Chains A and B, each alone.
Chain A
Amino acid sequence: MKTQNVSSTAPRAPTSDRSDRSGGVKPIIKATGLVKRFGKTAAVDGLSLEMYEGEVFGLLGPNGAGKTTTMRMLITLLAPDAGEIVVGGFRVRDDAERVRNLIGYIPQERAVDRALTGREHMALFADLYHLPKAEGEERSAWALHMVGLTDRADEVVANYSGGMKKRLEIACGLIHRPKILFLDEPTLGLDVESRTVIWRHIRELKAEGMTMVMSTNYLDEADQLCDRLAIIDQGKLAALGTPRQLKESLQGDVLSLTPENGDSSVRERLTIALKGLDDVVHVVHRDGAIELRVTPSKTILTRVLDVVNGQGVRLEAIQYTRPSLEKVFIHYTGHQIKDEWA
C-alpha cells in the first residue's frame, strides 16, 4: 500500500509518496514536527508535511482540525511551539520576509476592506509587494480581469456579494505572481456557480505552474482539485496521498452480486468459487448479496461473471463501487467529516 497511515506517536510523519515522483525532488515546502497549542488544546500536534513544486496540495479535515493554524504557521503569521518550516529554501523562523515575498495568501475569512474599491485594494497590495507603478497597474488589471471583476472594480467592496469578495481576495493574492499560493477554504459558503468559477481559477493557475496549498472540508473539492491530500484530524496527520491512492488504500473497490434466488447454499457455493480468483481480496455476505473487495483491474468483472455463469447462478443485480473520499475519511479518522455529509 502506497498510502501510509501514521500513528500519532511517529516522530516523523511519512514524507510523501516518493514512488511516483522523480527520485530526490526537493520539496518547496517542508514542515517537520509542527506543534501549536492554544492554552490546553493542541491545535496542531506533531504535523510533518512536504509540498512539491507545481502541485495542488490539499489539507482536508473537519472544523477545528487545525488546517488554518497549520497554514498560518506556514505563511509566517504564527510561530510554532515546536517544529521547523522551510519554504522555498528559507527558514520561516529566520527569513520570514523572504518567505512572504514568495507567497500569496487568501484567508478563510473575507479579509477585505469594505470602504475601499476593488481597484484600490489592488493598488494597495501592488505597493505592499513593491511592484513598480506601471507593473502594479498592469497586474491589477490582469488579476481583476481574471476573476471577472473588471466591471465592478471601481465600486466599494461593501456593495460586493460574498462570492465577489472572495474573488477579489484571490485577485489580491495573485498580484505579485506568488510562487506559492495559500488558499484557506477558498469556496467556503459560496454558491455552486461561484465555486465552479474558483475551481476554474485554481486549475488555470495550476496549468501556469503555480504551487498551491489549499485547505478544505469539502470532499468533492479535495477530490477534484488536489494532486495530493493530507487528511488532518485533531491536529494530526491521519493519511497522506493522492486522492486515488487514498481511495485504493481502502482495500480496493467493492463488487456486490445479488443472486436471483437468495438461497444460502447458492451463495456459499459461489463464495468458495470466487475466493479463488486473482484480485479478489475478500468476500462477505451482506443482506442477501455477496460483497467482494477487489483490487481494481480491467478483467475482474468479466472473470467474476465467468465464475457466476460457470456455477449456473443467475444474478438479480450487480453493483460496482469505487470507495469515495468520504469513505476514506471515515476509515482514517473513525468519523465523518461533517454530520450533513452522511
Chain B
Amino acid sequence: MSPYMQEVIAMTRRWFQRFKREPMSIIFGLTQPVLWLALFGNSGVTFRNAGAIPGASNYIAFMTGGVVVMTVLNSGLAGGIEMLFDKENGFLERLMAAPIKRSALIISRFLFVTALTGVQALMILGMAFLFGVVPATGWLGVGLILVIGMMLGIGFTAISMALAFSMKGHGGFFALLGFITLPLIFMSSALVPLQSMPGWLSVIAQLNPMTYAIDAVRGLILSGWHISLVKVLIVLAVFDAICLTWSNRILLRGMR
C-alpha cells in the first residue's frame, strides 16, 4: 500500500470511528427532510397545480427530489464542522506534525461525508417509497440520483471546509450555516417548481446549483430519462471544480 493510501485510509477510518460513537448524527441530519416528507405524505395534500408538473400526481412525489437535495445541502454544509473542531482543540495541529500529505486529510473528509450523504439520500428514497413514491427510472435512476446527490454534496462540503478554516470559531460557523441554508432552499426549486415562481425568483433559482440537481432528481422520480441530465451533470461538475479550487487554496493555506 502506498504511504498516501495509508494516510487516507487511516483518517477516513477515524471519521467512521467517530461516527460509530455518535450514530445519531445521521438521524439528526434526516429529521428535517423526514418531517417534510411525513407532513406532506400523511396529510394527503395534493398539489393544486398538479397539472403544471408533468406526472406529479401528488405533492410528496414532487417533494422527494427537493428533500433529497435539501439533505445533501445540510450534510454537505455540516461536513466541515469536525475539521473546525479539530482545529479548535489542537488535534489538527497534532495531525499536521505527522509526515502526511495535507490533501490526504481533505480527501478523507470528502470520502466520509460523501458516503454519509449517499446513505442519507438512499434512506430518504426508501422512506418516500413507503409513502408510495416509486422512481420512474428504477434502480438505475436511483443510482444516478445518488451520483447527483454526491456531486452536489462534494461542492457543499468544499464550501463548508473552506468556511471552517476561515472562521474564528464554531459559533460563527453555525450562525453562518443557519443564515445561508434557508435562503438557499427557498431560492431553489425545492419547494416550488421554477415555472410557478415569480420571474425574479426563477432567475435567482437558476443560478443555484441545487435547482439543477433537484429538477434532475425530480425528473428521474416522476417522469423518466431526459437528455437534460447531461447538462445537469456538467453543471454540477463545474460547480464542484469551482468549489474545490477555491476551498483547496484556503485549506492548504490553513494547514501548512
Q: How large is the interface on B (under 10, 10 to 19, 20 to 34, 35 or more residues)?
A: 20 to 34
Interface string of A63-99 (1 = CB under 8 A from B): 0000000001001111100000000000000000110
Interface string of B1-28 (1 = CB under 8 A from A): 0010011011101100110011000000
CB distance from B90 to the nearest CB of A (A): 4
Interface string of A216-230 (1 = CB under 8 A from B): 000000000000000
Of B21, B89, B97, B256, which one neighbours A79 at CB under 8 angstroms? Answer: B256
Complex-state Cα separation, A129 to B13, whole angstroms: 15
Complex-state Cα separation, A334 to B52, whole angstroms: 83
Of A77, A100, A111, which one neighbours B89 at CB under 8 angstroms? Answer: A111
Complex contact A123–B10 (CB within 8 A): yes
Any A CB within 8 A of the CB of B91: yes
Any B CB within 8 A of the CB of A127: yes
Complex-state Cα separation, A109 to B96, whole angstroms: 15
- Give the residues from 247 to 290 in chain A that come closer than 8 angstroms, CB to CB, to chain B: none
Complex-state Cα separation, A169 to B94, whole angstroms: 9
CB distance from B23 to the nearest CB of A (A): 12
Complex-state Cα separation, A101 to B3, whole angstroms: 13
Complex contact B10–A120 (CB within 8 A): no
Complex contact A100–B98 (CB within 8 A): yes
Known: A124-B11, A127-B7, A130-B3. A115 touches B99 (CB 8 A): no
Q: Taking CB as reference atom, which chain A residue is nearest B92?
A: A111
Q: Which residues of A contact B3 (CB under 8 A)?
A: 130
Complex-state Cα separation, A217 to B256, whole angstroms: 28
Known: A111-B93, A130-B6. A100 touches B99 (CB 8 A): yes
Complex contact A101–B99 (CB within 8 A): yes
17 contacts between A and B (CB under 8 A): A75-B97, A77-B96, A97-B99, A100-B97, A103-B97, A107-B93, A109-B89, A109-B90, A113-B18, A115-B17, A124-B11, A125-B98, A127-B7, A127-B9, A128-B98, A129-B99, A172-B94
Known: A124-B13, A124-B14. 19 other contacts (CB 8 A): A76-B97, A97-B99, A100-B97, A100-B99, A103-B97, A107-B90, A107-B97, A110-B90, A111-B91, A111-B93, A111-B94, A112-B91, A113-B18, A123-B10, A123-B13, A124-B10, A127-B7, A128-B11, A172-B94
